[in-house]
Amino acid sequence: MGVLRSLIFLLSFQLLLHVAKGSMVRLNESGYEDLVVAINPMVPEDTNIILNTMTMIKDASKYLFEATKHRFFFKSVKIILPKTWKKNSKYSRLKTESYNKADVIIADPYLKYGDDPYTLQYGGCGMQGRYIHFTTNFLLDSSLLKVYGERGRVFVHEWAHLRWGVFDEYNNNAPFYVSENKMVEPTRCSAGVIGKPVFRNCIGNQCAPRECQYDGQLYEAGCIFVPDVNQNSKTSIMYMQNLPSVVEFCDNSTHNAEAPNMQNKMCNYKSTWEVIMESNDYHNSSVINSLAPPFETTFQLLQTQDRAVSLVLDVSGSMDLNNRITNLRIAADVFLRQIIETGSRVGIVTFESTASVKSPLVQITSDATRQKLAQYLPTTANGGTSICAGIEKGLQIITDAINTTYGSEIVLLTDGEDSTMSTCRERVRESGAIIHTIALGPSAAKELEEFSNITGGLQLYAVDGNVPSKLIEAFSEIKTGSGDISEQSIQLESTDQQVNSSGWINNTVTIDKTVGNDTFFVFSWSIKQPIFFVRDPKGKEYGSSDFTVDSANLRTARLHINGTAEVGDWHYYIQNDNAVAQNISVAVTSRAASSDVPPVILQAYMERANIAPYPVVVYAEVSQNFLPVLGATVVATIETDGAAAVSLPLFDNGAGADMTKNDGIYSRYFALSGGGRYSLKVSARGRDQTIKLGRRQNKALYIPGYIENGKIQMNAPRPELPDEEIQANLGSFSRTSTSSITLVNSGNSNSNSSDFPPCKITDLDAYIENETIVLTWTAPGGDFDIGKANHYIIKSSANLLNLRDDFDNAASVDSLHLIPQEAGSIETLKFKPKNFTIENGTIIYIAIRAVDDKNLISDTSNIAKATWFIPPKASVPSGDDDGVNITVIVAVVAGCVVLVCIIVISTVCILQNQKKRRDPAIRM
- Distance, CA of 644 to CA of 641 (rounded, Å): 8
Could you write out the DSSP letters of every residue in 512-529?
A: -TTEEEEEEEEEEESSS-
Question: Quick one: which H or E segment has residue 333?
Answer: helix 324-334
- Distance, CA of 303 to CA of 482 (rounded, Å): 10
> In which order are the strands placed within the sheet that holds 298-303?
92-93, 298-303, 76-81, 35-39, 104-106, 131-134, 118-120
Contact 511, 596 (CB under 8 A): no
The closest of 314, 333, 340, 334 to 325, measured between CA atoms, is 314
The closest of 569, 572, 485 to 522, measured between CA atoms, is 572
Burial of 790 (0-12, 13-18, 19+ CB in 10 A): middle
Phi, psi of 285 (to 5 degrees): -140, 170
**Whole-angstrom Cα Rg for the chain:** 32
Phi, psi of 452 (to 5 degrees): -70, -40
The closest of 820, 95, 672 to 405, measured between CA atoms, is 95
Buried b (16+ CB within 10 A) or exposed e, 526-549: beebbebbbebeeeeebeeeebee
The closest of 105, 107, 108, 138 to 119, measured between CA atoms, is 105
Q: How many Cα atoms sit within 13 Å of 743 on the Cβ side?
A: 25
3-state secondary structure of 891: helix
Burial of 374 (0-12, 13-18, 19+ CB in 10 A): buried
> Is the bond leading into 236 cis (omega within 30 degrees of zero)?
yes
3-state secondary structure of 903: helix
What are the CA-CA distances from residue 718 to residues 113, 120, 205 (Å)? 9, 21, 14
Task: Please calculate the CA angle 571-576-581 and round it to the nearest 5 degrees.
Answer: 130
Contact 726, 694 (CB under 8 A): yes
Contact 615, 786 (CB under 8 A): no
> In which order are the strands placed within the sheet that holds 504-511?
504-511, 568-575, 531-535, 541-542
What are the CA-CA distances from residue 881 to residues 201, 219, 708, 875, 878 (Å)? 14, 19, 10, 15, 8
> CB neighbours (10 Å) of residue 46?
14
- Distance, CA of 196 to CA of 203 (rounded, Å): 22
- Distance, CA of 210 to CA of 171 (rounded, Å): 22
Amino acid at 100: N
Active-site residues, by number, are 158
Task: Please calculate the CA angle 593-595-596 and round it to the nearest 5 degrees.
Answer: 100
- Cβ contacts of residue 246 below 8 Å, gap of 6+? 153, 231, 233, 234, 235, 236, 237, 239, 240
Contact 570, 732 (CB under 8 A): no
- Distance, CA of 514 to CA of 735 (rounded, Å): 12
Contact 865, 843 (CB under 8 A): yes
